[in-house]
Structure 1
Amino acid sequence: MPEPTLAEDFLQLVLDDESGKRIVGHLEATRGLAGAVFLDLLAAGRVARTGKEDAGRSGRFVVRDASPTGNPVWDQALARLGDKSYTGRRAVEKLVKGTEDAVRERLVERGVVCEEKSTVLGVFPRSRWPATDTGHEELVTRRIKDVLVAGAAPDRRTADLVALLHAVRAAHKVVDGDRKTVRTRAKEIADQNPGGDAVRQALDAVRAAMIAAAAAGSAGS
């Protein structure tokens, strides 16, 4: 199989290896994953930010190449975005539904997690996704720890992962170290992400989508 995507790395990081449960809430996991897929598409040149040469407003996001990618998660995302332009937040929101399930399937196919089914009170079905192979995850975690704890300079991929973890308030849950130091360093990396304005706008969109979803949930309760 191809190298793991950013979304696959992100999901493996926010799944507890032993229990198979998320270490973040549903809202954080789903918005973070949607943002990770969006960043994958940006890095692959499948999605881009509009400029003066495009019709309509600049600074929005559009699909540049909707041809099949060979990755069902990406193909699903491109189909959802279609031929419209979106703000970063709206693009992330479009990618939320079904993405966690789709990325988990990829992890199962890779043999890095497995599904364990059970029932609650003998009636309600429940699934957990414990790790079966942590080799790649340990390498990724080591790189993140070098950046957040030892102060190493991040490469582009590690910077994106750190920024995503910061957006969902999970950096301190992924690596050991002083909580305040880890959070401060993660914010610094997120603010100075080497991916440029489009990537920073996409990361801001993850936070905006989380805030909007939380506000909608509060209003409906």
Structure 2
Amino acid sequence: MATLRIPRRFNGPPDSGNGGYVAGLLAEQRGEDAVTVILRSPPPLETPLDVRDGRLYDGDALIAESTSGKLERDAPPIVPYTEAVAASDTYVSIEMFASCFVCGSGRADGLRIEPGRVSENQVAAPWVPDDTVPMRPLLLWAAMDCPGGWSLPGMLHRPALLGSMTAIVHDLPRVGEHCVVVGEYHGEQGRKCFASTAVYGDYGRLLGQAEQVWIRLT
């Protein structure tokens, strides 16, 4: 049994872990190429969490569970870096995500992946990794989280939280590499919304791809 802890820096909503980061943390325990992680409860920060049989627990409370995964879609197509920069200039967030480690515009120590719309169903943002966080696959899981949510229509008025994520990390970016993160919306059913994301590095190399289910709060 392993014990994990989510440092406060890696929050999504103010008092819980970023869904992609937490999913990547649990996925690392499996050592498989493709992993699916389902988030069951808000992951608490700075709290010892137990990993048992691929599941993450806070005491007896189930936080997340992982299984072997399989991607069903091709990765969203790449967007040119200059176009992603221009799209990011149109990014507008809401208070509950302002401090998010991934997309929070109020975070000087976050990834600052701020996606803007490039087509009806697609968003994109630039990302230049720095050396303040060790470059591990879970960082790609985090980077691929929020752009999926921001690809959903009406996210400002009907926000959603990550429900599940299946991802593969093909390679890690270099510090200072000019990356593009893309999110693509694929429809919804009731409160469930479906999206996919990808991270591209220099020369269009695909670093990671993911498929997600998001849950509208209302």
Fold conserved between structures, TM > 0.5: no
Relative contact order (C-alpha < 8 Å, sep 6+): which is higher? Answer: 1
Structure with greater strand share of residues: 2
Bigger helix share:
1
TM-score, structure 1 normalization:
0.31
Highest CA radius of gyration, 1 or 2?
A: 1
**Given the two structures, how large is their TM-score scaled by the length of structure 2?**
0.31
